[in-house]
A and B are shown apart, each in its own frame.
Chain A
Amino acid sequence: MTRMPAGAIQARGIAKRYQVGRTRASLPDLRETLTASFARLAGKDRGSRDDWFWALRDISFDVRPGEVVGVIGSNGAGKSTLLKILSRIVEPTAGRIEMAGRLGCLLEVGTGFHRELTGRENVFLNGAILGMSRRETLAKFDAIVDFSGLEPFIDTPVKHYSSGMYLRLGFAVAAHIDPEILIIDEVLAVGDAAFQAKCIGKVGELVGEGRTVLIVSHQLPVIQKLCNRALMIRDGRVAADGPPQNVVGDYLRAFEESAVGVHSRTDRRGRGRARVSRILVKGDGGAALISGGPTRIEIEADAAARHCAFTIYDGLGDAVGSFDTANPSDADSLTKGEASRFMCEMASLLLRPGRYRLNVALTGADGSLEDHVEGACTFDVLPGLVEGREAVSERGFGRVEFPHRWTAS
């Protein structure tokens, strides 16, 4: 084996296979295993290849020490599976990863906290589980408590903590593991805005110290801000690898391409008795959408469904607003039962100019998800007036132009 510099990662042909149709409630019980064993003995193996699902097919990449790599991809693309393999929680079915140096994982902060133990006790317990020696935790204890801002409560059992306090302490411990390779999953999306900023600052600090970092996030701005390289995972493979700006662009473009025909999308979730077959976004008299103009969104399904919902996301992947027939008003004219065509009208589109996309979902009469398509459709909003005021799009100042009135005296 060639010696790798500390902080380097080399992944070759990582694949992971799961058995489908096995939920927790239907684990193979003794009876099933025994009958299967007898069937095998009798030469009648009923195991079929169709029962397997490949969460990851073939992932290879190299990370140099000090690189900060963002991993993006839509839900179900295999990001989480990849992270679980890198952090050794699950084993790959095939492939090999070599990592040089100490590994730290921020997968879910506060994991392993025990409700009956105090904050102080949990810091030591969590530190040990995350791979710190008692002496190390002791040396960093003050810094951890200081970062969490929970000093007055450190000897209170954590069952009395609010969920925010819980997360703060969890992140504080995890952020002080001091690894050469740090793996982070969506943890930056926790807590209030102020603490979130602190967390991102801390990660930025670790990045500045030249550590190798792998971040998985839905927040594309975080990826663009912190990372110097991005990987896009699609269908269990590395679909793009390069500077974050380019890869995020590819990622958003992939949504547009796939939005051409929502009926032919295969990367959808849900039971599938009803599928979204067509989406139409129309402005006043034509396809062009204008800020402040009347807008209509039509969603058609290939079979009847009880409810229809969609969420609008901006070009950076942040949700702007959501719409749901399950949350009706008197002004709606909805059917009592199921329907296969849903139309949502807005007298005035409050979105500022820019590019947006829709995630669409259908639910059945029993409440279970029938269909969910991410980026089912992409549309552009052109500049216009919202109640006589120009809708101005400026980065960092939001996506919505509120109808409003000023008074000064």
Chain B
Amino acid sequence: MSVEGDPATLVIEASKRWRFLDIRELWAYREVVFFLVWRDFKVRYRQTAIGIAWAVIQPMLTVTIFTILFSRLAKLPSDGVPYPLFALAGLVPWVFFSQGVTAATNGMMNNQDLVKRIYFPRLAIPLAAIFSGFADLLIGLLLLVLMILFYGQDIGLNILALPLFLALGTAAAIGIGLILSAANVRFRDVGHALPFALQIALLATPIAYPSSVLPEHWRLFYNLNPMVGVVDGVRWSLFGTPIVPEALLISIVTTLLALVGGAYYFRHNERSLADLL
């Protein structure tokens, strides 16, 4: 469906097979995205007793467990950065990514009342699901800064690149989230497989260990995982740990591919979502 010609005239007809997202329409409905984010945020913190503290407690506990398991027992290196700091810098973007992808995947199902009864660009749902994670991400970053100060680490100019890597992580979450949210309406198997897949992906991302432990010739393949580039990049921005530019480039390319592919796949399925739910 599209708005074409005279902007005041709405044309409804069967979609052509493959089309790119209607960005102009999404912009017209930007307030829906905003309100869905705002709704998720309000509801989440209204229903919990300690509210925002969860965004601090969860990563802290995970970092503690990781430190005991991987640093003390398994003696994994951490590129010269204190291990808890090192792990937290990986966890914060990872949690944003995995929660965003999960929320996007289940978004259509959770909002089927809306999808079946009201028209708005369906894209608003996965986007809002991912953007809702920004609050937790911000809290995680604050925590990270406090930890850096606590450990007496210096913050260099590299930190200016941090927003770029976070944007890369957001793009990866959107690309993969779009594919999975549309696929999950068609094949409910996706929702069941996702937690397991994310667990595997956690191990395939340098969160508990530095990517420098991998042999050089594996690095390019390893970086097909877009989150490898994001996590390495975040650490480089904060601690100046080494980064392999070629490998980072691969992560950027796979992220862009996921983004474009996700946009097309979502658009292709968008028209039948209400029929399938």
Contacts and interface: CB of A to CB of B under 8 A. Distances in A.
Interface string B68-101: 0000000000000000000000000000000000
A89 B35 contact: no
A125 B46 contact: no
Interface stretch (B139-147, B159-167, B185-193, B259-267): B185-193
B39 A97 contact: no
Q: Which 6 A-B pairs have the closest CB atoms?
A: A88-B119, A97-B12, A128-B35, A91-B271, A96-B13, A111-B117
A27 interface: yes
Contact of B6 (A3, A86, A112, A114): A3
Contact of B187 (A30, A86, A89, A128): A30
A83 B15 CA distance: 18
A33 B6 CA distance: 40
B154 interface: no
Given A18-B275, A94-B14, A111-B113, A116 B9 contact: no
Nearest to A6: B8
A93 B14 contact: yes
Interface of A: 1, 3-4, 6, 18, 24, 27-30, 33, 84-101, 103, 105, 107-108, 111-112, 114, 116-117, 121, 124-125, 128-131, 133-134
A91 B19 CA distance: 15
A254 to B, nearest CB: 29
Given A88-B119, A116-B47, A125-B35, 12 more contacts: A1-B5, A1-B6, A6-B8, A89-B119, A92-B12, A93-B14, A94-B14, A97-B13, A99-B12, A105-B118, A121-B42, A124-B35
Contact of B118 (A1, A6, A18, A107): A107
7 contacts: A33-B187, A84-B274, A90-B274, A92-B12, A95-B14, A128-B32, A129-B114
A387 to B, nearest CB: 49
Contacts of A131: 29, 120
Contacts of B257: none
B50 interface: no
B11 interface: yes
Contact of A4 (B9, B29, B188, B274): B9
Interface in B170-184: none
Contacts of B114: 111-112, 129
A24 B185 CA distance: 11
Contact of A100 (B8, B47, B115, B117): B8
Contacts of A91: 1, 12-15, 271-272
Contact of B9 (A1, A87, A124, A134): A1
Nearest to B124: A129
A103 B10 contact: yes
B188 A27 contact: yes
Contact of B120 (A1, A3, A6, A129): A129
Contact of B188 (A6, A29, A93, A112): A29
B34 interface: yes
B1 A88 contact: yes
Contacts of A29: 187-189
Nearest to A33: B187
B31 interface: yes
A129 B118 contact: yes
Nearest to B10: A99
